[in-house]
Structure formats: C-alpha cells, structure tokens
Amino acid sequence: MPAPFLKQQIQEVPLKLVGGNNFGRYPKISREETFNMIVSDEALVPYAGWFKALAIAEDVIGRALYSSQIGNLMLAVIGTVVYKINSNIQLGTPPTSGSIATSNSNVFMAENNSYQILITDGSYIYIYDYDNDIFYSSAPGASNPITWPYSGGPGYCSFQDGRFVVAVNGTQNWALSLTGSVVGHTTDYFAIATTQTGVIQSKPGYIQATVPMPGGGNNILIMGDTVCESWQNVGAALFPYQRNSSFNIDYGCLNPSSIAALENFVVWLAVNEQSGPVIMVTQGSAIRTISTDGINFRLSNLTNPTNCSAILFKQDGHMIYQFTFPDDNLSYAYDFNSSLFFTVTDEDLNYHPAKQIVFFNNDYYFVSFKDGHLYRFGTQYTDAYYDETDVSVIPRIRVTPPLRLPTQRYYINKSLGFTVENGLPNEKYNLMSQPGFTGTDITTEDSFLLLTEDDVQITTEQDLGASIMHQINSAWVGLSISRDGGESFGSTLRLDMNDTGHRKSRFIYQRLGIANDSTFQLRFSGFNRFVAFDGVIEVYQ
C-alpha cells in the first residue's frame, strides 16, 4: 500500500515589527534595532523631524540653548557669541561684550529671579542681565567685570532657593552665589567663604555637577566622578545645606553634559571606580540602571565616551532621554513611556544633530552639533527641512528579532505581511519633455509635392513637442533579509505605498526563500509619516 501523501504544514510566526533596540552583545544573539521611529499605542511611528527656524552662522556649532519664561526669550551660545532670540524667533545679540572667551568647551546656563542668566564655560562666568541689557564677564578685559574667586573653573550651574549653585571644576568644591541680583556685588557675588562653599564628603573624587532634584523641594544632588550625594537646604547660618548622612549613590558622572532632569527624574551617564559607563536614573531615594545588555556593551566599546551630551524632554506625552557621542557617531533615545531604546540619526544615518532642546512659545527648538543655526523640532515634521525647498528624507528602519525554529532546521519563508497606514499623499512630480516633429510633407497620388501658388511646400501642422508632468510614488517600504545571523543583509525588495486615497493597509512580500536563521530589515522611505503594526511570517518545511 503506498505511503499516504504528506501535506506541507504552513506555520504562522509573529513578526515583531513594533519594538525598540533589543540587540544583543553580538549580532548572532540579535540585531533587533529601530532607527528614527518610536512606539506609540502599539504602533511604530516616526520620531520627530526638524525645520531650520533661524539661520545664524555656518562655520561654527551650537553649544547651549536656554529658554527664559520670565524674559520671554531664548539665549543661544553659538561658537563664541551669545545670541538673544525674541518671541518672534528674530535674532538679536546682548551688548557688544556679549561673547564668551572659549570656543569648544561645555557651556551651562541657569537663571535667577532677578532677570539674570548665568553662563559658565569651564573657564569663566558670564551673567546676562536682560532687564538692564548688561553683560558681565570674568574673562580678562571685560567691560563689565565680575569676579570668579576660585582656582578651579566654573562648571555645571543651577539655581535653587534664591542662589546660583556652581560646580568648581578640578576640585571637590561647589560654590553658592549671594541671593538676589549681581548688581552692586560684582566682586563678592561668588566669594570664597565657608558660608558659600560646599565640599563632597562621602568618597574621594572631583565634583561634576550640582543638580536640584526636580519635584524634590530643597533637595539637591551633588555629583562627583565616583559618587552622588544628596543635600538639603535647611537654612543653617554657617552653611545653608546639610548632607543626607544616611543615603548616597555609589555612582558618579562621566560628563556633566550627560545629565538631564525633568518631572521627578534625573538621568545621566554613570561610572565609578569599579564600573564602566551605564545609563542611570534616580528619583532621589533610589537608583536603577535603564541601559540594556546590548546598550551597555556598545557604551563599553566607545572610543571617547567622555565626549557626550544629553537632553531630556517631553513631547506628545512621551518623556525621552536622548544622548549623543559625536566622536563615535552614535545617538540613542530612551522613551520612559515604553521603556525602550531607539537609534536616532540625521538624514545620512550619522548621529542626531540636536545638542540642546528647549520648549519656547509652544514649540521645541534645538541648537545643533553640526552648524550654528536654530531648528524647530517636532512630530509635525516627518523629515529634515533646511528650507522650503531643501528637504532630506530621514531614514526610518526596523530590524526585527531573529527567526529560528527550536529544531534549528531549515524552513521556507513563504510570505511576510503586516498592517501599515496607506493612502496618504505620497506623490512626487517630475517635469519631462516629450519630443515632437517638424511637419509631414503632403504629396499627390503620384508622389509629387504639393506647392502653393508661390511655390511654398505644403506640410501638416508642425509639433515641436511638449512638457508633461510625470507622477511617481515617492513613498515605499524596502525589505532585505539576513540569513547569516545578522552579519549581512541581501538586496532590497521594494514595494511602493498606495496612491493617495487608496487605503488598503495590507503589505505583503511573497516567496522569500530558505533559511534557518532569518533577520528581516524593513526600510520606510518617503516625505510623509509611516504607521506600522506587528505582522505575521508564513513558513513551512
């Protein structure tokens, strides 16, 4: 009796299209990564794009940006110049002396209640009194001098309980200003005195930052390079702050530019004498590491992790910590809503251009690592707009987790399908020339040319061609597959998005070949948004 016919069984395997960076230490573990997209309501949606809001300077870079709610202005440090930007996003500068003496160090800013903004650059302090339009500087030769009496340069600065609080670089000290205005106190506003100087106490090391705990009342974190101490302003006569003797964080800060605070979180790139860099967050009474094993492995292999910068902002309800390592060409964003990391880039897949982000007049703005201009940043922009006609597509890529069967046997990828928003405007028009003709001779039946009475040859009407508008789809999704454990990907199979109004949402790729270890890479390209959902891979053996 013949053997019964064995029907091939098709198995449906979930396609994890919606997700973040869960890549492993090595590609064989997993290459799962998401570029320039985040997760919102169980869908993959674009990360914010940007638009050049104000052209300032080409050959320098942005160093710091501050938004003053009281002054209704932004203060931007571009190169060595301090710019004042008003509510109409128009440029002005502080007085002639409104420049700083350094060109590439970290710059920090803080504001008091006397209409004054403190700027520190690691070497000197500067105070811009925007109420009286006066710019003070401790740099040599300043027209409005102010004294910085410490041997170490001024670093990270903040404001709490009426005083500026400044880390004194290269020491264990942190300095307090006098309360109130600098006017009339230019020589003693920061004075070396026990009543105005604090010291890190719990572990040896240098100070890095002074960070008021958001939502923490009078509490402040004093961050060193190996430890963080919690202090509280108790209003004591000899020195207003008192250290919490029962609590400290056994991690310091690698670079004060990596520190960002919002709501009740402080996030930073943490290290100590026994640990390499990790991303940590505290709410004042406990700490936790948020970086994954794969992220930590990347951080441990950076060539220069000390050159880093970070921002923390809340956009469309998502609180995002974005951090960048320019020397290593790398930027990540961590979304506290989804507890996921994402890779963020510019239009060329290099590190993200945002150096510092502020919220001003109901919009987000940033100064850039890459030039000296001011950019508006938001999800209303799906791409990089450098002016009305210069628009670059930001690549949006999803690399899925590997597909391996428990038996390790080969299988055939029959199809890959998922749901995606379709039918949005995605047309691009090209002007094309259509060649014409110069007229056809008219003859008799005997092939004699027809002539007018004046012996002018008669032809058909002349047509020299025309210009026509040719419509093409500019939005598409490309699929490429790795069959060697995520080491390399094959050629791209491209499917165009539907025309405007054709909203069929199923995207499906057929006959994808044999493998026993598949990783799928989907690239979303176009001048509009993409909204994608999880899907299914059909396999059979």
Q: In Å, how far from its chain's centre is CA 40?
A: 17
- The neighbouring-strand residues paired with 356 are 367
Note whether 23 and 30 are within 8 A (CB). yes
Tell me the per-residue pLDDT of 11-39, one tens digit each, with 9 for 90 and over.
Answer: 899 999 999 999 999 999 999 999 999 99
CA–CA distance, 371 with 79 (Å, rounded to integer): 9
What local confidence, expressed as pLDDT, does residue 246 receive? Answer: 85
Classified as helix, coil or strand, 440 is coil
Query: Is residue 534 in some structural domain?
Result: yes
Note whether 517 and 409 are within 8 A (CB). no
**Cβ-Cβ contacts under 8 Å for 266 (sequence gap 6 or more):** 211, 213, 214, 221, 259, 260, 281, 282, 283, 284
Classified as helix, coil or strand, 256 is helix
- The neighbouring-strand residues paired with 323 are 310, 332
Count of H helices and E strands in the chain? Answer: 1, 44
What local confidence, expressed as pLDDT, does residue 449 receive? Answer: 61
Domain count, the chain: 1
* Domain coverage including residue 405: 10-44+400-426+474-540
Query: Is residue 313 in some structural domain?
Result: no
- For the segment 375-388, the average pLDDT, to the nearest whole number, is 89
Which H or E run includes 471?
A: strand 466-473
What local confidence, expressed as pLDDT, does residue 149 receive? Answer: 96
Tell me the per-residue pLDDT of 69-121, one tens digit each, with 9 for 90 and over.
Answer: 999 999 999 999 999 999 998 888 887 778 999 998 999 999 999 999 999 99
Query: Is residue 134 in some structural domain?
Result: no
Query: Is residue 480 in some structural domain?
Result: yes
Cα of first residue to Cα of last residue in the chain, in angstroms, is 25
Classified as helix, coil or strand, 9 is coil
Query: Is residue 436 in some structural domain?
Result: no
Which H or E run includes 294?
A: helix 293-300
Q: What share of the chain is helix, strand, coil (3-state, %, to 5)?
A: 5, 50, 50
CA–CA distance, 305 with 312 (Å, rounded to integer): 19
- The neighbouring-strand residues paired with 85 are 74, 91
Closest listed residue to residue 224, CA positions, set 257, 187, 271: 271
Classified as helix, coil or strand, 295 is helix
Q: What is the CATH number of the domain that holds 419?
A: 2.60.120
CB burial class (10 A; 0-12, 13-18, 19+) of residue 60? Answer: middle
Cα–Cα distances in angstroms (integers) from residue 434 to residues 401, 472, 473, 526, in the given order: 48, 17, 21, 27
Tell me the per-residue pLDDT of 272-309, one tens digit each, with 9 for 90 and over.
Answer: 888 889 999 998 778 899 999 999 999 999 999 999 99
What local confidence, expressed as pLDDT, does residue 422 receive? Answer: 85
Tell me the per-residue pLDDT of 458-512, one tens digit each, with 9 for 90 and over.
Answer: 666 655 555 554 445 578 999 999 999 899 999 999 998 887 777 788 889 999 9
Query: Is residue 138 in some structural domain?
Result: no
What local confidence, expressed as pLDDT, does residue 194 receive? Answer: 86
- The neighbouring-strand residues paired with 224 are 207
CA–CA distance, 227 with 201 (Å, rounded to integer): 10
Query: Is residue 494 in some structural domain?
Result: yes
For residue 351, pLDDT over 90 is answered with: yes
Which of 316-320, 457-461, 517-521 has the weakest average pLDDT?
Answer: 457-461
For residue 202, pLDDT over 50 is answered with: yes
Note whether 207 and 220 are within 8 A (CB). no
pTM here is 0.88
CA–CA distance, 267 with 260 (Å, rounded to integer): 5
More confidently predicted of 460 and 4: 460
Query: Is residue 448 in some structural domain?
Result: no
For residue 2, pLDDT over 60 is answered with: no
Note whether 200 and 208 are within 8 A (CB). no
Residue with tokens 């710091």: 64
Which of 142-146, 343-347, 431-435 has the weakest average pLDDT?
Answer: 431-435
Tell me the per-residue pLDDT of 94-108, one tens digit each, with 9 for 90 and over.
Answer: 877 789 999 989 999
Q: What are phi and psi of 295, to 5 degrees?
A: -65, -45
CA–CA distance, 484 with 427 (Å, rounded to integer): 37
CA–CA distance, 531 with 253 (Å, rounded to integer): 38
Predicted confidence band of residue 207 (pLDDT cuts 50, 70, 90): very high
What local confidence, expressed as pLDDT, does residue 387 receive? Answer: 78
